[in-house]
Amino acid sequence: MKKANVPTYKNLRKRKKRIPGESPGTFVVLDNALPSKLRIYAYDEENIAELETSSIEKALAFVNSHPEKFYWLDIQGLGSQEVLNSVQQKFNINALVMEDIVNNHQRPKYEEFSNCIFVVSRVLELDENINLKNEQLSLIVNHNFLITFQEDYEDILNPIRQRLVHKKLGNIRTLGPSYLLYAIMDVATDHNFNLINRLGDELEIIEGILYDKPQKSIMYRIQGVKKIMLTMRRIAWPERDKLNDLYKSSSIFIHPDVKVFLRDVADHNVQIIDLLETYRETSTTMMDIYLSMINNRMNEVMKILTVISAIFIPLTFIAGVYGMNFAVEDPVSGKIMKNNMPELYWENGYFFVWVLMIVITVLQIIYFIKKGWFRD
Amino acid sequence: MKKANVPTYKNLRKRKKRIPGESPGTFVVLDNALPSKLRIYAYDEENIAELETSSIEKALAFVNSHPEKFYWLDIQGLGSQEVLNSVQQKFNINALVMEDIVNNHQRPKYEEFSNCIFVVSRVLELDENINLKNEQLSLIVNHNFLITFQEDYEDILNPIRQRLVHKKLGNIRTLGPSYLLYAIMDVATDHNFNLINRLGDELEIIEGILYDKPQKSIMYRIQGVKKIMLTMRRIAWPERDKLNDLYKSSSIFIHPDVKVFLRDVADHNVQIIDLLETYRETSTTMMDIYLSMINNRMNEVMKILTVISAIFIPLTFIAGVYGMNFAVEDPVSGKIMKNNMPELYWENGYFFVWVLMIVITVLQIIYFIKKGWFRD
Amino acid sequence: MKKANVPTYKNLRKRKKRIPGESPGTFVVLDNALPSKLRIYAYDEENIAELETSSIEKALAFVNSHPEKFYWLDIQGLGSQEVLNSVQQKFNINALVMEDIVNNHQRPKYEEFSNCIFVVSRVLELDENINLKNEQLSLIVNHNFLITFQEDYEDILNPIRQRLVHKKLGNIRTLGPSYLLYAIMDVATDHNFNLINRLGDELEIIEGILYDKPQKSIMYRIQGVKKIMLTMRRIAWPERDKLNDLYKSSSIFIHPDVKVFLRDVADHNVQIIDLLETYRETSTTMMDIYLSMINNRMNEVMKILTVISAIFIPLTFIAGVYGMNFAVEDPVSGKIMKNNMPELYWENGYFFVWVLMIVITVLQIIYFIKKGWFRD
Amino acid sequence: MKKANVPTYKNLRKRKKRIPGESPGTFVVLDNALPSKLRIYAYDEENIAELETSSIEKALAFVNSHPEKFYWLDIQGLGSQEVLNSVQQKFNINALVMEDIVNNHQRPKYEEFSNCIFVVSRVLELDENINLKNEQLSLIVNHNFLITFQEDYEDILNPIRQRLVHKKLGNIRTLGPSYLLYAIMDVATDHNFNLINRLGDELEIIEGILYDKPQKSIMYRIQGVKKIMLTMRRIAWPERDKLNDLYKSSSIFIHPDVKVFLRDVADHNVQIIDLLETYRETSTTMMDIYLSMINNRMNEVMKILTVISAIFIPLTFIAGVYGMNFAVEDPVSGKIMKNNMPELYWENGYFFVWVLMIVITVLQIIYFIKKGWFRD
Amino acid sequence: MKKANVPTYKNLRKRKKRIPGESPGTFVVLDNALPSKLRIYAYDEENIAELETSSIEKALAFVNSHPEKFYWLDIQGLGSQEVLNSVQQKFNINALVMEDIVNNHQRPKYEEFSNCIFVVSRVLELDENINLKNEQLSLIVNHNFLITFQEDYEDILNPIRQRLVHKKLGNIRTLGPSYLLYAIMDVATDHNFNLINRLGDELEIIEGILYDKPQKSIMYRIQGVKKIMLTMRRIAWPERDKLNDLYKSSSIFIHPDVKVFLRDVADHNVQIIDLLETYRETSTTMMDIYLSMINNRMNEVMKILTVISAIFIPLTFIAGVYGMNFAVEDPVSGKIMKNNMPELYWENGYFFVWVLMIVITVLQIIYFIKKGWFRD
Ligand SMILES: [Mg+2]
Ligand SMILES: [Mg+2]
Ligand SMILES: [Mg+2]
Ligand SMILES: [Mg+2]
Ligand SMILES: [Mg+2]
Ligand SMILES: [Mg+2]
Ligand SMILES: [Mg+2]
Ligand SMILES: [Mg+2]
Ligand SMILES: [Mg+2]
Ligand SMILES: [Mg+2]
Ligand SMILES: [Mg+2]
Ligand SMILES: [Mg+2]
Ligand SMILES: [Mg+2]
Ligand SMILES: [Mg+2]
Ligand SMILES: [Mg+2]
Ligand SMILES: [Mg+2]
Ligand SMILES: [Mg+2]
Ligand SMILES: [Mg+2]
Ligand SMILES: [Mg+2]
Ligand SMILES: [Mg+2]
Ligand SMILES: [Mg+2]
Ligand SMILES: [Mg+2]
Ligand SMILES: [Mg+2]
Ligand SMILES: [Mg+2]
Ligand SMILES: [Mg+2]
Ligand SMILES: [Mg+2]
Ligand SMILES: [Mg+2]
Ligand SMILES: [Mg+2]
Ligand SMILES: [Mg+2]
Ligand SMILES: [Mg+2]
Ligand SMILES: [Mg+2]
C-alpha cells in the first residue's frame, strides 16, 4: 500500500500558535523569514533608475535624489524587523497592514485606506519536488508609489521588471503604480493558470490509466489532485471578489485607464474558477468509476468462487458418501447386511456415480448460464 | 473491460502554457489556427452586395465603395496575424479583445466598450466521430458594423446569410447589426439545443437497457453523457448571464426593437439549463439504480453460495465421519473393540444415515424459506 | 427483474430537432397537434352569451355582434395553422408569443407586452395508464379579452365555465379577464396539488412495504415517484417566479382587486414546492433505508455461511484425517508399523474423536456468541 | 426486523383531495373538525372580564356590553360553520383568510390586509403515544381585537390567559392585541424548542448505543428523528421569514414597543433552526458511522471465514489424498504395484503427514499475521 | 470496538426544558451558575483605578467616587440573582438582554438599543480532558461604560487587563469602551483560531496514520474532529455576521477609529471559516479514503479465499472420488466387477492422479495471473 508519487502540499504545517490578547500593530517577523533585500526603481515615461541594496536608508536616499514621477520598492524576504519598521514609518502604513504582511497566511483581499490601498495576492507553484508552494504577495499602492512584499528571493516579477525597464513610453511607464499593480496581478494569475492546466493534464493521464488498467494508485493520485484543488479554491474565490472590488473601486489611487485591464485579469480568474469546478466534478466522477470498477471486480471474484463451490461441493459430497465404510458383513459375527451401501457392489456402480455427477454439473452450468453469470 | 462507444470530448487537450508577464495586447495567433477567409456584406433595406476574399485590403476597399447603411464582416479561420492586425487597426479594437478572440477558450461573455460591444458565444456539436466540437464564436458590434470571428470554415451561419440576402425589407435588413447579433445567438442556441436533445435520447436508450439487461457498458455510457453535460453547463450558465445582460443592456449599439428577440433567445437558453439540470439528476439516478442492481446481484450470488454450502457442508461432514477407519478389530492383536463405529455394522446403518442427511437438508431448506431467501 | 407497475412519464419523447437559423415568428403547428376548436364567451355583470365553433370567422363575427364588456376565447387543439394565423392578426400578437404557444414545451412564465400580457402554465395529471400528462396552457390577457390555448380537448376549465355562466354579479363577472386568469391559475395549481398528494399517498404505501417486507420492487417504485417529482420541480419553481411576478406586477391589464387572489394561488404553489422538497428527502431516505436493509441482509447471509463453514470445515478435516489409509501392516512384507494411526486401534478412539469434535464445536459457538453474531 | 419504538408522525394522512375550480372564499369546515367553543376577554390596564360560551351571539353581546379598550376572542375547534360565518361577517374577514383558517395545513405566514393582519403559526408536540401533533394556530389582529383559532381544546394558551388576568398594569394589559400576538408566538416557539431539545436527548441516547452496542434498531431510531426534523424544518424556515416580516413590518396594528419582543422570539426561532441543522448533520454522521461499523463487521466475518477456510481446505485435501484407495496389490490378479501410494506403507508416514500439515498451518498463520489480519 | 481517545464535546447536555408562556424579562439565574465576582476599572488616558469585590453596592460606590472618563465592569459567574438585578436596574438594561445573558446558549449576535449596544461572543477551548468548553461572553457597551459577563472564573481577558493597566496613552486607554469591545472580540477570535489550528494538527496526524497503517480508530478520530467543527461552524457563521454588522454599524457607541480594528478581527474570523470549510472537506475525503481502503482490503481477503478454494476444492473432489469404496469384488458372492474404479488398480494410478491434480492447479494459477489477481 505504497503511496503514489503525486503532488502533495506541505504548507499546512506553517500553523503557529497565536498569543491571545496581544496588542494589534506590534508586528513581529516570523522565525523562518528570510532577510530582506530591497530593489527600487524611480521612473517616468522617459527615464528609469534602479538600485539594489539591503539598507533601507540607502533606498530612501535614492528616492530623495531621484525626482522622477513614479517609484517601485520591491522587498524580497520579510525577516528584517528594522527594515520593515522603517518602511512602515516612512510610508505611514497602518500597523494592521504590517501585521497582515508578515503573517503570510492571509486570504487574497483588497482594503482601502486614506493614504493608500492594500492588496494581498497568493501565487501557487509546484516546486521541483512537486510540493505545492503557496506564496503571499502583498502590495501597497498610492499616487506615485508601489511597494511589493515577497516571501522569498525566487523572482516571479522579473518579466515585469524587464518590461518596465525597456518599454519606454508604454502603458507600464505612463499609467503609474496602479498599472504595475495590474501587471503583477496578471503574472500571479498566469502562474495559477499554469498550475490548473497542469492539474488538467494530470487528470487526463489518470483517466487514461483508469480506463486501461485500474490500480489502487489511482485513488491516491486523484486525492493528490483534489488536495491541491482544495487549496486553489480557497484562493480563487476570494481572489475573484478582490479583483471585482478593484475593478469597480472608486479609489483615487487606481488610474481610470487601468480599469479595463483589471477587468481582463478578473476574467482570467473566473476561467480558473470555472476549470477548478469542472475538474472537481471530473475527479469525483473518476473516483466513483474507480470504486464501481472495484465493486465489479469483487462481484466477479465472488461469482468464480460461487461457481466452483456450487459445482464441486455437491460432487464432493457424493464422493464422500461412497467413501463411507458401512459394512456389508459384520467383521465380528460375519452377519451379512444387504442394505448397507448396495450401490458399491453394483456391476456398474462407479459408472453410474460418474453419470450422476456429470448430470448435476451440467444442470448447474445451464442454471448459471441462464442467470447470465458468464455474460459481460 | 472495453469502453463503450459513446460520445467523448477531446477539447481539453488544447491547453497551452501561458508565459507569465507578457505584455497585454500583443496577441499572437495560435499555432494550429486556420488561415483567415473574409466574407463581407454591405446592405440596407433594399440593396445588398457581397464579397469573398482573403485580402483585408480588398475587403476594406469594398466597404469604401459601398455606401450602404450596414456591413457584416465574417472572418473564418483565426490564423492570419496580419489580417487580424489590420482589422484591429481599422476598427480600433481594444488589444485585450483581440487577445480573447484568438485565445479560443473564453467563456461566453458580453463586454461594453466606448466604440463597440464585444460578445463571445460557444457552439457545441458532436462531429461525425461523436467527439464534442466546442467552437468559440466572437462578435463585435457597433452602429453599422458587425464583425464575426469563427475558428474554422464549417459554416453554421449560412442560414442567416440566406435570410439576409433574400429577406428584403425584413427585420434582418432594417434593424441593423444588433439584429444580426441576435440571429447568430439564436443559431448558436439552437445548435446547443439539438445537442441537449440528443443527450436526452441517449439517456432514454440507456434507461431502456438498464431496466432490460443491465451491463457494465451502461456505466461508461452514463459517464460519457455526464462529461458532455459538464462542458455544456460550463457554457450554459455564463451564456445565461450574457444574454440577460444583453437584453437589459442600455448600450446604444443595440436597437430597441431587438430587445424582445434577445429575451426570447435568453428564454431558450434557460430551457437548456433546465434540461441540463434534469438530465444530470436523471443520469445520477440511473447510476444509482445500476449500482444497486449490481449490489442486488452480488447478494443473490452470495445467497446461492450460502445455500449450497450450508446444505452440503454438514452432509459432507457426516459422510466424512462414516468414512473414518476406526477399527473394530486390532489388526495386530486381533482384539475386538465394540465401541469403534458400531453404526457401520448396524443392519440399516446406511439407510439411517441417509434419513439423517435428508432430515438435515429439509430443516435447512425450511429455514431458508422462512428467511425469505427464495422470495424475490 | 421485472419493473414494478408504477407511474412513468413518456413526455420526454416529444423532443423535435430544431432547424437552426429559422426566422423567428414563422411559427408552424406541430405534426401531432389536434385541430382547433373555438369556444367564445361575451359577458358582463348581467349578461352572458356563448358560441362553439371551429371557424375563426364566425367567432370574430360573434364578438362584433355582442357589445358586452368582456370576452373569453378558448382554443382547444393547436393544430389549425390558419385559425392561429387569424387569431394572431386579429389580436396583434407578437410572433414570438405564437411560437411559444405552438411549441408546447415552454416553462411556466409571465411576459409583458405593450398590448397584452402572456402567461404560460403547465398542468400535470396522471392519465388512466398512470402515465404523466404534462399539458401546456397558454394565456393572453388584455383589458377586455382573455384568450386561452389548450393542447387537447380534455377540459380542465369546465368548472370555471360553470361559474362564469351562473355566478351573475360575482367577482368572476365583474373583475374582468384578469380574474379569469387567476381562476385558471388556481385550477391548474389544484390539479398539481392533487398529483403531489397522490405521490404522498404512494410514498406512504411504499414506506409501509419497506418496513414490512422489503422487496426489490420498492426501488423501482421510489424511482418512479422521483421521476415524476423531477418533472414537477422543473415546473413548480418557475411557476413560483411567475406567480410572484404576476402578484407584484404593475401591469394595467391586471385588476387591482385580483392581486389578493393571485397572492393566494402563489401561496398554494409554495405549499406544493414545500411538499415536493419534503417528499424528495423522504424518498431519498427510504432508498437509503432499503439499501442498508439489503446490506444488513447480505451481512446475515455471510454470517450464516461463516458459522456453518467455520464449524464444519475443521470437523470435516478431522474426519478426513481418520479416513486416511496409513497402514499398520505392510501388505507386501507384512511388517508391522505401530506409529501409523494408532488412534484407530484404541479401544475408544471413535468416542474420543467425537468428544474432540464436540469440544471444538462448543468452543466455536461460544466464540460466536461472544462476538454477538447471534444477537439482533 | 421489528421497527423500534420511536416517535413517528401520522399527520401526512390528512391529505384531502381538492376539487379544482371551486370558487375562492366559499370555505367549508373539515369533516373531522371539532365543534367551536368561544372564550372572550374584554380588558384594559385596570379591568378584565371573561365569558365562555359556544354561542357567537352571546359573545358579540358580551363585547357590546363591555366598553373596555381591548378584546381577545379565542375559538377552539373549527367545526361550527355558522360560528365561523358569523365571525367572518362581524369582523369583515377576507374569504381567503377564512379558507386558510379552516384548511389546517397552511405554512407559517404573515399577511397584511387593510383592516387587520393575519398570522399562521404551527405548534409541534409529541403526544402520549409519541406521535407528532402538528396543530395550526391562526391569528387575526387589528387595533383593539385579537382573534385566535385553534384546532382542538388542548390549551397551550392557558399560561397567557393567566398572565392576562393577573398582571394588571403589565405590558400584556397595556400594549394591546399585538403584545398578545407576541406572547402567543413565544409560547408556540417554546413548544417547538422543547421538541427540538427532546430530539437532542434522543440523539444523545442513540449515540451512546451506537458506540456501545450497535444494533439494527439504531437505523430506525435515527430515521424516526430525521422524519420529525423534516417536519420541523418545513415549519421553522417559513416561521423565520414570518417573524422577520412581523418584526420589520410597518403595520399600524403592531404596537412599536412590541417590536423588540418580536425580535427576541425571532432570535429563538433562529436558534431552533440552528439546532435543527446541527442535529441533521449529527444524525447523518451517526448513520454513516453505523453503516461503516456494519461494513467493518462484515469484513471481520469474511476474515474469519477466510482464515479458517484457507487453513483447513489444504489440510483436508491432504487428508483426502491419503484416504484414496489406490491399491498396492491387484485384488483380482494379486499383482503388486509398488508405485501406488507408497507413503501409506512408510514406517512413519502418518507422523510425516502431520508434520507436513502443521508446517502448512504455521506458514499460513505467519502470512496472515504479516498481512495484519489479527491486528485491530 | 473501543472508542479512540479523541476530543469529544459534552455541552449538548446543558439543555433545559423551557416553561412555555413565562413572562419575558423575568430572568432567573441557572441552577449550576457560579456566584458572581465583580472587578471594576475606572480609567482615562492618564489614570486608572481598580476594585475587586463581590458586592455590587461597593462597586457602584467605587464608580461614584472615581470621576474618570471610562469604566469597565467585569462580572465573572452568573449565579447571583441580586447582583444581576442591581446591574440591570443601575444601567437600565432591557429585560430581554438580561435573559439572553443568563441563558448561556445564545448564538453570537449584535443588537442595538437606544441606551447601549449588546454583543454576544462564544469562546471555544479544549479543557485538560480534551472536552470542548463553549463559553458565552456577553458585552454591553455605551458611551463610557463596558460591562462584560463571563460564565466562570477562568480568565481569558487577563492579557487585556494587563494592557489596560500598563498602556498609558495607548489606544486602549483613549478610544473608550468600544476599543475594549474590539480587544475582547480579538481575544475570543484568537482562542477560536488556536482551536482550529489544533484541529488542523490532529487531521494531519490522522492523515499520517491513514496512509501508514489504517485502523478502525481513524474513523472515530475523524468523527471526533468533525463534531467539534460542527460546533465551530454554528458559531463562526453568525460571528461573521455579527462582526460585519459591528464594523458597518452607525451606532454612536462605537468610536470611529475602532472601525478599522473591527474590520481586522472580522477578517480573522473569515480565515477561521475558510479553514473550517477546508478541514471539513479534508476530513470527508479522509473518511472516503479510509472506507475505500477497507473495501480494497475486503477485496483482497475475498481474492485469497477464492484462490485457495478454487484450487483445492476440485483437488479435494478428485481425492474424494478415489476414496470411494466401489468394490471390484462382491464380498458376499465373490463376483468380480471390472468396471468399478479400475484406475485404483492401474500400475501408476497414484502417479497419474497427482499429474492430473498438478495440471489443474497450474491451469488455475495461469488463469488467475491472467485475470491480474496477483498484481497490485
Ligand atoms: Mg489582519
Ligand atoms: Mg485574511
Ligand atoms: Mg491561502
Ligand atoms: Mg486562504
Ligand atoms: Mg494574462
Ligand atoms: Mg481577456
Ligand atoms: Mg483571457
Ligand atoms: Mg458513495
Ligand atoms: Mg468554454
Ligand atoms: Mg469556459
Ligand atoms: Mg430559436
Ligand atoms: Mg420563445
Ligand atoms: Mg423555444
Ligand atoms: Mg458499498
Ligand atoms: Mg422557456
Ligand atoms: Mg414542462
Ligand atoms: Mg419545463
Ligand atoms: Mg388551489
Ligand atoms: Mg390560501
Ligand atoms: Mg451512500
Ligand atoms: Mg385556492
Ligand atoms: Mg405545515
Ligand atoms: Mg407547510
Ligand atoms: Mg420563549
Ligand atoms: Mg433572547
Ligand atoms: Mg428569550
Ligand atoms: Mg438567541
Ligand atoms: Mg453557540
Ligand atoms: Mg449557536
Ligand atoms: Mg487575533
Ligand atoms: Mg488582529
Which pLDDT tens digit goes with each residue over C118-173? Answer: 999 999 998 777 788 999 999 999 999 999 999 999 888 999 999 999 988 789 99
Cα angle, residue E60 at apex, residues E59 and E66 outer, rounded to 5°: 90
Domain assignment present for A14: no
Chain D residues whose CB is inside 8 A of the E215 CB are 375-376
Residue of A299, D290, C285, C305 whose CA lies nearest to B293 = A299
* Chain E environment of D375 (Cβ under 8 Å): 215
> Which of A160, A193, A306 has the most B C-beta neighbours within 10 Å, making it the best mutation to test the interface with B?
A306
8 Å CB contact between C358 and B321: no
> How many structural domains does chain D have?
2
A28 CA to centre of own chain: 30
Q: How far apart are CA B269 and CA B275, in angstroms?
A: 10
Claim to verify: residue C345 and residue C288 sit in the same structural domain: no
Strands A70-76 and A145-150: parallel
Contact call for D345 and C325, based on CB within 8 A: no
Helix or strand (DSSP H, E) at B261: helix B259-321
d(CA A244, CA A263): 8
- Of B337, B33, B42, nearest to B177 (Cα)? B42
Please indicate if any CB of chain A lies within 8 Å of the CB of B299: no
Neighbours of chain D (3+ CB pairs under 8 A): C, E
**Cross-chain Cβ contact A3/E211 below 8 Å:** yes
The residue among A14, A23, A297 with the most chain E CBs within 10 A of its CB, best to mutate, is A23
Neighbours of chain E (3+ CB pairs under 8 A): A, D
CB A314 within 8 A of CB B312: yes
The phi and psi torsions of A73 (rounded to 5 degrees) equal -105, 115
Q: Domain end: A274, A293, A312, which one?
A: A293
- Per CB-CB distance under 8 Å, the chain A contacts of B23 are 163, 167, 170, 172
Say if the Cβ atoms of A308 and E313 lie within 8 Å.
yes
C237, C268, C293: which is the final residue of a domain? C293
Verify that C60 and C202 share a domain, yes or no.
yes
Task: Return phi, psi of residue E40, to 5°.
Answer: -130, 140
Give B39's pLDDT tier (boundaries 50, 70, 90). Answer: very high
Pair D334, D282 in one domain: no
**Does E91 fall in a domain?**
yes
Distance A202 CA to ligand 6 centre (A): 26
Residue from E186, E335, E346, E371 nearest E260 by CA: E186
CB D58 within 8 A of CB D52: no
Using left for φ > 0, alpha for ψ between -120 and 50, and beta otherwise, residue E321 falls in alpha
Q: Please tell me the pTM assigned to this model.
A: 0.84
Residues C288 and C164 in one domain: yes
* Cα dist from D262 to D93, D256, D274, E94, whole Å: 24, 10, 18, 14
| A12 within domain boundaries | no
Could you tell me which residues are beta bridge partners of residue B71?
B42, B145
Cα distances from A92 to residues A87, A150, D48, D166, in angstroms, run 8, 20, 70, 66
**For C255-261, what is the mean pLDDT?**
94
Per DSSP, the three-state class of A18 is coil
Of A157, A331, A373, the CB nearest to B328: A331
* pLDDT the model gives residue E219: 87
Residue D358, chain C, CB below 8 Å: the answer is no
For chain C, give the mean pLDDT: 89
Residue B337 contacts C where some CB pair is shorter than 8 Å: yes
CA distance C166 to chain D (A): 12
**Which residues are within 8 A (CB) of E99 and not within 5 positions of it... i.e. 6 or more apart?**
D264, E24, E25, E27
Asked whether residue D192 falls in the same domain as residue D306, the answer is no
Phi/psi for C139 (5° steps) reads: -135, 140
CA atoms of A163 and E135, how far apart (whole Å): 56
HSE on the CB side for E373, CA within 13 Å? 23
Residues A206 and A345 occupy one common structural domain: no
As a whole number of angstroms, the distance between CA C130 and CA C202 comes to: 12
What is the amino acid identity at position B229? M
Residue E296 in contact with partner chain A when CB distance is under 8 A: yes
Residue E9 forms part of a structural domain = no
Chain E residues in contact with A301 (beta carbon < 8 A): 299, 302-303, 306, 373
Q: How far apart are CA D175 and CA D261, in angstroms?
A: 12
Residues A334 and A223 in one domain: no
CB distance E303–A301 less than 8 Å?
A: yes
Half-sphere exposure of E119 (CA within 13 A, CB side): 31
Q: Of E129, A291, C292, C280, give the one whose Cα is nearest residue D286.
A: C292
Q: Give ∠ CA D80-D84-D88 in degrees, rounded to 5.
A: 170
| Alpha carbon of B100 to ligand 11 centroid (Å) | 26
Q: Are strands B70-76 and B145-150 parallel, antiparallel or unpaired?
A: parallel
If you ran DSSP here, which 8-state letter would residue A98 be given?
H
User: Do A256 and A178 share a domain, yes or no?
Assistant: yes
Task: List CB contacts of C256: < 8 A, sequence separation 6 or more.
Answer: none
Nearest CA in chain A to B22: A159
Say which of C287, C294, C341 has its CB closest to residue B296: C294
Give the residue from A114, A304, A339, A346 with the most E CB atoms within 10 Å of its CB, the best one to mutate.
Answer: A304
Spans of chain A below 70 pLDDT: 1-17, 25, 376
Instruction: Give the gap in angstroms from C-alpha A21 to the nearest C-alpha of chain B.
Output: 42
Inform me whether the pLDDT recorded for D8 exceeds 50: no
The one-digit pLDDT tens for each residue of chain E (376 residues) are: 334 333 343 444 445 567 777 777 678 888 889 999 999 999 998 899 999 999 999 999 999 999 888 999 999 999 999 999 999 999 999 999 999 999 988 999 999 999 999 999 999 998 777 788 999 999 999 999 999 999 999 888 999 999 999 988 789 999 999 999 999 999 999 999 999 999 999 999 999 998 887 788 888 899 899 999 999 999 999 999 999 999 999 999 999 999 999 999 999 999 999 999 999 999 998 998 888 888 888 888 888 899 999 999 999 999 999 999 998 888 888 888 888 888 899 888 999 999 999 999 999 999 998 888 876 6
* Residue D154 clears pLDDT 80, i.e. is over it: yes
> Is residue C103 located within the same domain as residue C203?
yes
The pLDDT value recorded for residue E17 is: 66
Q: State the pLDDT confidence band at D376, using cuts at 50, 70 and 90.
A: low
Q: Are residues C324 and C288 in the same domain?
A: no
| Ligand 31 ion: nearby residues, β-carbon < 5 Å | A 24; E 264
Q: What is the four-CA torsion angle of B279, B282, B283, B289, rounded to 10 degrees? A: -170
Which CA distances in Å does E164 have to A26, E49, E173, E177, E185?
A: 16, 11, 6, 11, 15
CA of A243 to the centre of ligand 5 (A): 13
pLDDT at D25: 67
B325 vs C336: CB contact, 8 Å cut-off? no
Residue D191 Cα to ligand 26 middle (Å): 13
Interface test with chain C among D3, D8, D15, by most C beta carbons within 10 Å = D15
Q: What is the DSSP letter of D130?
A: S
Tell me the Ramachandran region of residue E341: left when phi exceeds 0, alpha when psi lies from -120 to 50, beta otherwise.
left
- Measured CA distances, C267 to B242, C240, D98, D113, D138 (Å): 32, 9, 14, 15, 16
What pLDDT is stored for residue E308 in this prediction?
92
- Position B7 in a domain: no
In the block, residue with C-alpha cell 469591545:
E181
- Among C270, C293, C316, the domain-final residue is C293
Phi, psi for residue E121 in degrees, rounded to 5: -120, 160
Mean pLDDT of B132-151: 95
Contact D325 E325 (CB under 8 A): yes
In a domain, A201, yes or no: yes
Q: What is the pLDDT of residues C9-49, one digit of tens each?
A: 344 444 556 778 777 767 888 888 999 999 999 999 889 99
Nearest partner of D299 among E307, A295, E300, A219, judged by Cα:
E300
**Positive/negative CA dihedral, C184, C187, C193, C198:** negative
The confidence score (pLDDT) of residue C320 equals 92
- Residue ranges of E strands in chain E: 37-43, 48-53, 70-76, 109-112, 117-126, 132-141, 145-150
Indicate whether E125 and E246 sit together in one domain: yes
E376 touches chain D (CB under 8 A): no
A180 domain-assigned = yes
Q: State which residues form the domain around B325.
A: 294-371
Backbone angles phi, psi at A374, to 5 degrees: -100, -5
The residue of E165, E212, E340, E373 whose CB has the most chain A CBs within 10 angstroms, and thus the best one to mutate to test that interface, is E340
Q: What is the DSSP letter of C1?
A: -
Distance CA A69, CA A143 (A): 10
E77 DSSP 8-state letter: -
Q: Which of residues 83-122 of A touch B (CB under 8 A)?
A: none
Q: Give CA–CA dist C292/A92, Å, rounded.
A: 65
Q: Determine, yes or no, domain membership for E17.
A: no
Hey, what amino acid is at D197?
N
Is any Cβ of chain E less than 8 angstroms from the Cβ of D273? no
Q: Whole-angstrom Cα distance, residue C203 to residue E23?
A: 43
**H or E, element range at C365:** helix C349-371
Contact D201 E15 (CB under 8 A): yes
Any D CB within 8 A of E211 CB = no
The CA distance from D136 to D14, in Å, is 13
Q: How far apart are CA A84 and CA A56, in angstroms?
A: 9
Question: How remote is the C-alpha of B313 from its chain's centroid?
Answer: 52
* Rounded (5°) CA angle B298-B299-B305: 90
* Together in a domain, A218 and A302: no
Q: How many B×C Cβ pairs under 8 Å?
A: 174
Residue of A nearest to E261 (CA): A96
Confidence (pLDDT) at E16: 59
Is the model's pLDDT at D1 over the cut of 60?
no
CB contacts, 8 Å: E303 with chain A: 301
Which ligand is closest to the CA of D295, given by its number? Answer: 14
Q: Which chains touch A (3 or more CB pairs under 8 A)?
A: B, E
Residue of C nearest to D338 (CA): C332
CB proximity list for D215: less than 8 A, separation 6 or greater: C375, C376, D209
Place of cell 409541534: D124
CATH number, domain with residue B199: 3.30.460.20
How far apart (Å, rounded) are the C-alpha atoms in residues C245 and C266? 10
> H or E stretch including C279?
helix C259-321
* Model pLDDT, residue A376: 60
Q: Given an 8 Å threshold on Cβ–Cβ distance, is A326 in contact with B350? A: yes
Residue of chain B with shortest Cα separation from A260: B96
User: Which chain B residues have a beta carbon less than 8 Å from that of A183?
Assistant: 21
List the beta strands (DSSP E) in E181-282: none
Q: How far is E162 from chain D (nearest CA, A)?
A: 35
pLDDT in tens, B274-298: 999 999 999 998 998 888 888 888 8
Which strands form B117-126's sheet, in the order they lie side by side? Answer: B48-53, B37-43, B70-76, B145-150, B132-141, B117-126, B109-112
| Å from CA of A237 to ligand 28 middle | 28
Distance from CA of C283 to the nearest CA of D (A): 11
Chains that contact B by 3+ CB pairs under 8 Å? A, C
Interface subset of D 222-261, CB within 8 angstroms of E: 260-261
Q: Which CA distances in Å does D274 have to C314, D124, D203, D237?
A: 57, 17, 16, 11
- pLDDT tens across D221-253, in order? 998 999 999 999 999 999 999 999 999 999 999
CB contact, 8 Å: C127 with chain D? no
- Give the residue carrying C-alpha cell 466424512: B320
Q: What is the mean pLDDT of chain B?
A: 89
Q: Mean pLDDT throughout B9-20?
A: 54
Q: Contact D148/D181 with Cβ under 8 angstroms?
A: no
Backbone angles phi, psi at D298, to 5 degrees: -55, -45
Which single residue is written with the C-alpha cell 414545451? C105
- How near does any CA of chain D get to the CA of E365, in Å? 16
Q: Nearest CB to E310: which of A287, A291, A308?
A: A308
